[in-house]
Amino acid sequence: MKQLIKPPRLRQGDTVGLIAPGGYTSDRAIEKAVRNIESLGFRVKTGAYLRSVFGNYAGSVQQRLADLHAMFADPEVKAIWPIRGGSGCISLLSGLDYALIRRHPKVLLGYSDITALHLAIHQRVGLVTFHGPVASSTMSDYSREHMMAVLTDPRPSYTIPMAAENAQRALSEPHYAIRTVTEGVATGPLMGGNLSLVAALAGTPYACDYRGCILFLEEVNEAPYRIDRWMTQLDLAGGFDKAAALMIGICDNCGPEHEEISLTLDQTLDLHLQPLTIPAVSGYSIGHIRNQFTLPMGVRATLDTHRQTVTLLESAVA
């Protein structure tokens, strides 16, 4: 198991660096992100290129790298919080200064396209980063509670229940329901992220090594055949049976397209989950959803399908 580097815990009054390493952003989103950060008791420092636009990206690769490196190097900044995902983070990986990140370990928080940064930094540095809300997310009490607990309070263990709000929503939107495909209890490091990004990195030096891990995956706005393709690619590249468990989040708007002949999302997932003997679940409270919990990458945890909980077995911050 990789030797983990845990970033210092966040404290009230700390400065959070706001950057856009992927998709371009807007003044309205920046205002919302600043409100979010300040409402949590932190100060904000914005990246020099936060408002840059290059196609659908937040500036050129060089500009986005410059902001990310500047925030890691700045002693005043204690956490780095991307304003959104979008696309483009994968283009930064070969230019990242991993030695700089190793010298200045800090909280890096986000999901979706930020998955590329999480996986590469884990692979090259061993730094615990955090798969959770982006800075412009609309956060619920649930997502705020579990995010702050993981970032600010280094407890030896911490149990995260699934969101009651998602269970309520499942009454009218079935894909919000928790499904246990294979029951059981599994322990291992947490690893994964956005399915398309995890699949895109397979076969590269930054690939997700999920052997012995609780592999978590989520997706949004993708047809079932694409989910199937990416799941197949990941299984061929690494073998899902080598994971300790497979945890699929809530994949919003991933059903068949209008009047298209297609498998359902659940049927598609079951092609990959049912053959496994390891614990396998879907509908857990991660993904492009309001009520999501924060997962520290690389930290050991236990997935319990009966209790429908994830328990962190060590602190994620120092």
- Residue 37 · residue 44 · CB < 8 Å: yes
Residue whose structure tokens are 């049927």? 267
Distance between CA atoms of 10 and 13, rounded to whole angstroms? 9
Check the CA dihedral 206-210-212-213 and report its sign. Answer: positive
Cβ of 236: how many Cβ atoms within 10 Å?
Answer: 11
Q: Per-residue b/e over 174-187, b at no fewer than 16 CB within 10 Å? A: ebbebbebbebebe
Catalytic residue among 52, 112, 282, 285: 112
219 is a catalytic site residue: no
76 is a catalytic site residue: no
Catalytic residue among 218, 219, 282, 315: 218
Give the DSSP H or E segment for 188. strand 185-194
136 is a catalytic site residue: no
CA angle 287, 171, 250 (to 5 degrees): 10
SS3 content of the chain, % helix, strand, coil (to 5): 35, 25, 45
CA angle 3, 161, 210 (to 5 degrees): 35
- The contacts of residue 211 (CB under 8 Å, 6+ apart) are 238, 242, 243
**SS3 category, 280:** strand
Residues marked as catalytic:
112, 218, 288
